Chain A
Amino acid sequence: GEDVEQSLFLSVREGDSSVINCTYTDSSSTYLYWYKQEPGAGLQLLTYIFSNMDMKQDQRLTVLLNKKDKHLSLRIADTQTGDSAIYFCAEKSGYSTLTFGKGTMLLVSP
């Protein structure tokens, strides 16, 4: 079945850039998403990219998609302590349901 893989942990200093990586196996993925989960909270959609795009920028967030390698990344510029959370990569093909990765814990130190 479809699979989404992420690195489990990333630690950065405040003000640095963070890059969270994700790989997926479903070549028919139509949409790829990044969700943020803070402690005790549900998932919040951060951004998404359609499979026919290479890049999407939204304020401090930049999403890069390499469809050939099935690789997705999320770059957070000027990372703040409030960005500390778990970030989930997810993919969806057509009308199928979302498939999530295991999440990357981002720890931002002052």
Chain B
Amino acid sequence: EAGVAQSPRYKIIEKRQSVAFWCNPISGHATLYWYQQILGQGPKLLIQFQNNGVVDDSQLPKDRFSAERLKGVDSTLKIQPAKLEDSAVYLCASSLGLSIAWDEQFFGPGTRLTVL
């Protein structure tokens, strides 16, 4: 079974530029998550989708970050404009979206963003 795919793996941009990341979850997984992992920190949830609807985006900086999952499968995360403090690894994860508390998340390899 293929895992969670993400692209690009690495991205270097200058501050104030825009950037987009793509995630393809495991087939059949209804729930998709985007996490931000700053160097030396644990992952922090940015947004959670259930199919194509947003479940939780309370920690997404909505003035510059946006995310969509139009057809309930792939997702894109965009930053516009980027700031230096956005330098981090952006992890995508997916889960079956079971209606029980236990719902294992599977993580992709991440996109490492460097903002200069």
Interface set of A (CB-CB < 8 Å, partner B): 4, 30-31, 40-45, 88, 90, 92, 94-95, 97-98, 100-103
- With most chain A CB atoms within 10 A of its CB, the pick from B43, B56, B93, B109 is B43
Residues of B within 8 A of A40 (CB): 109
Minimum CB distance partner of A41 in chain B: B109
Is there an interface contact between B110 and A42, defined as CB atoms closer than 8 Å?
yes
Is there an interface contact between A98 and B45, defined as CB atoms closer than 8 Å?
yes
Q: Does B105 contact A (CB under 8 A)?
A: yes
Q: How large is the interface on B (under 10, 10 to 19, 20 to 34, 35 or more residues)?
A: 20 to 34
Contacts A31-B101, A43-B43, A90-B42 known; A97 to B109 CB distance under 8 Å? no
Contacting A at CB under 8 A, from B63-116, are: 91, 93, 101-102, 104-110
| Nearest-Cβ distance from residue A69 to partner chain B, whole angstroms | 21
How far is it, in angstroms, between the C-alpha of A103 and the C-alpha of B45 when the chains are bound?
16
Residues of B within 8 A of A101 (CB): 42
Is there an interface contact between A88 and B109, defined as CB atoms closer than 8 Å?
no
How far is it, in angstroms, between the C-alpha of A100 and the C-alpha of B35 when the chains are bound?
11
Residues of A within 8 A of B41 (CB): 102-103
How far is it, in angstroms, between the C-alpha of A98 and the C-alpha of B105 when the chains are bound?
10
Residues of A within 8 A of B40 (CB): 102-103
How far is it, in angstroms, between the C-alpha of A102 and the C-alpha of B41 when the chains are bound?
4
Is there an interface contact between B48 and A97, defined as CB atoms closer than 8 Å?
yes
Is there an interface contact between A42 and B101, defined as CB atoms closer than 8 Å?
no
Minimum CB distance partner of A95 in chain B: B101
Residues of B within 8 A of A30 (CB): 101
| Nearest-Cβ distance from residue A15 to partner chain B, whole angstroms | 29
Residues of A within 8 A of B33 (CB): 97
Q: Besides A43-B43, A45-B106, A88-B42, 12 other CB < 8 A contacts? A: A4-B42, A40-B109, A42-B4, A42-B91, A42-B107, A42-B109, A43-B107, A88-B43, A94-B101, A100-B42, A100-B43, A102-B42
